[in-house]
């Protein structure tokens, strides 16, 4: 049986009731009063020591899993989405190919870690930096002084904005980290349609496109 710390009190209460025990009886086994058990079951005053004692009295055990809290910075995500598009244009890749390449060879990690410095550079310089980083990590794209970034059409700015929002949705709603969220969306049929100007999807809201993506992830295709 697994439960997050927010649900541990309810889990204890359910297990106590399943065993037909009163709060007084559980308290006697743990060495505390009924009021303390009531407090624990309501999710208050929980400590590892207390939870371990209560679970032990119920014949259960607990393990602790520590996770670092994911930091979501909209500025960083927006910049990385734009940088992926610039990298794709400079190396004559599709956005999907560039995203997969930069995730695989740590370009996305580099941008996230060094955002404060990289976002102050021109995209030409950022593309050069990304190319070198990925090359050092086993990638095949070469650096070149002749790499030129294109002037993006207005539709690209709209696509980048929607992409940024959906990456954030995936990170917040589903708990994906940034490389995972980028890979999921850039490899989806939804993103392919978003990138196709003929569909007109790029003029819709981010929430609308996200609903399409969720349907695709649920059913394996766009409904």
Contact 168, 72 (CB under 8 A): yes
Domains of the chain: 5-57 (1.10.260.40), 74-219 (no CATH)
pLDDT > 50? residue 1: no
Quick count: other Cβ atoms within 10 Å of Cβ 126? 25
pLDDT > 90? residue 182: yes
How sure is the predictor about 174, in pLDDT bands with cuts at 50, 70 and 90? confident
How sure is the predictor about 126, in pLDDT bands with cuts at 50, 70 and 90? very high
**How does 176-209 read in b/e, with b if 16+ C-beta sit within 10 Å?**
bebbebbbbbbebebbbbbbeeeeebbeeebeeb
Contact 106, 188 (CB under 8 A): no
What lies within 8 Å, CB to CB, of 79 at 6+ separation is 111, 115, 118, 119
Query: Could you tell me the two tokens for 74?
Result: 């909209």
pLDDT > 70? residue 2: no
Residue 42 backbone dihedrals phi, psi, to 5 degrees = -90, 0
pLDDT at residue 200 in the model: 93
42 or 147, which is more confident: 42
Mean pLDDT of 177-197: 95
């Amino acid at each position: 049986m697994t439960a997050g710390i927010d649900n541990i009190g309810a889990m204890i209460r359910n297990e106590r009731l399943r065993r037909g025990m009163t709060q007084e009886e559980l308290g006697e086994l743990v060495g505390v009063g009924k009021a303390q058990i009531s407090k624990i079951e309501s999710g208050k005053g929980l400590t590892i020591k207390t939870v371990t004692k209560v679970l032990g009295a119920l014949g259960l055990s607990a393990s602790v899993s520590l996770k670092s809290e994911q930091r979501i910075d909209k500025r960083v995500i927006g910049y990385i989405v734009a940088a992926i598009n610039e990298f794709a244009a400079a190396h004559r890749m599709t956005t999907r190919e560039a995203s997969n390449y930069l995730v695989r060879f740590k370009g996305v990690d580099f941008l996230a870690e060094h955002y404060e410095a990289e976002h102050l550079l021109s995209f030409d310089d950022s593309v050069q930096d990304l190319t070198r980083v990925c090359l050092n990590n086993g990638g095949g794209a070469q650096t070149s002084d002749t790499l030129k970034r294109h002037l993006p059409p207005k539709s690209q700015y709209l696509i980048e904005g929607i992409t940024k929002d959906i990456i954030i949705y995936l990170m917040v709603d589903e708990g994906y980290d940034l490389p995972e969220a980028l890979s999921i969306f850039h490899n989806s049929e939804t993103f392919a349609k978003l990138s196709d100007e003929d569909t007109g999807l790029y003029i819709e809201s981010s929430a609308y496109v996200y609903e399409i993506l969720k349907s695709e992830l649920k059913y394996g295709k766009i409904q």
